[in-house]
Amino acid sequence: MSIVSDAVRTAQVLGRSFSVGNLTVPNRIVMAPLTRFFSPEGVPGHDVAQYYARRAAANVGLIITEGTLVQHPSSGSSDRVPRFWGEESLAGWRGVASAVHEAGGKIIPQLWHVGSTRTEGVGPVRTAPPVGPSGLALDGLPAGVALSTADIDDVIGAFATGAAAAQELGFDGVELHGAHGYLVDQFLWGRTNQRTDSYGGDLASRVRFAAEVVAAVRESIAPDFPVFFRLSQWKTGQYDARLAETPAELEAILTPLSDAGVDVFHASTRRYWIPEFEGSNLNLAGWAKNVTGKASITVGSVGLDKEFVGPAGSPDRSAVTSIEELLDRAERDEFDLVAVGRALIADPEWARKALDGRLEDAEPYDAALLETLH
């Protein structure tokens, strides 16, 4: 299939504005959150601000930052991942938000806790253990310690404090990382959540932690400050994992989150064109919108010919490819926004080229680009 897209059609489909709460974006293209490890001691600097601002200036409608750690001792595994706490880090984030706004863009931070995937002995608090709902790794083997109910309250409070800081710093909303086998997702997934209290057991109980995080975040911010929630079926290294086997199970997971205050569901898949359940062509973002009535974001190898991650590892290179099927699905309002990851690492001008129907001019992805912040 030709890379070239009809410029008029692309502009009509992806060039539409979108509003949620007090946020209005000029088009449907979102920069996906991508961890880059360029924030020494957890502080995003001028280079990080310009990295995001370049994409905002080139017509990305909304930027979702890389995962940024909430203030909990076990939240992260690297001193080069940005933090969303501490005077220096928050000052850095204020500069990032200002730079994006000056470039004409909108930006929200993604708040993150890695849970039991944490590597011991590294990160902001080197002595902190990995923590999770049941002290289990993603493969089901022992890892770290199980959170007590008091610990759970502390983590919930850390997410709420981070969201309040996002609003105070001038961001345009906030995203909660509930995907890919990190802490919030570990509570949702039966393999990693073997608790026997009110936070574990049946599906409704496993959703409780995530719903309480959302509710605490919603209470800490203005009613019209939008809350995004990232979810996935797959986990890091566990690509066949599934939270929901049926649309009814997905509805049982997402409805409490919607009721607690989620405005937009960001449905992470490795390939956006793959149907999520038998009997329907809808992808995960399509089903999230269908069962909740809330807006959704699709993501997964948009504009590239190889999926970004899988059992064989991430490919070193991916060629630019057509977005015709993406446009077909967007025209049917299967989802509301489209998140783009590696294609925007490769080419800061990707959004502008896509909207102009010039994807044949876009730069292909090469993993070597991860070594620099451009």
Catalytic center residues: 182
Evaluate whether 290 touches 247 at the Cβ level (below 8 Å).
yes
Compute how many other C-beta atoms are within 10 angstroms of the C-beta atom of residue 200. Answer: 19
H helices present in the chain, as ranges: 7-14, 46-57, 87-102, 149-168, 183-188, 203-206, 208-220, 247-260, 284-292, 324-331, 342-346, 350-355
**Between 46-57 and 87-102, two packed helices, what is the crossing angle to 10 degrees?**
20
Nearest one of 83, 93, 74, 92 to 132, comparing CA atoms: 74
* Token pair 């992260």: residue: 76
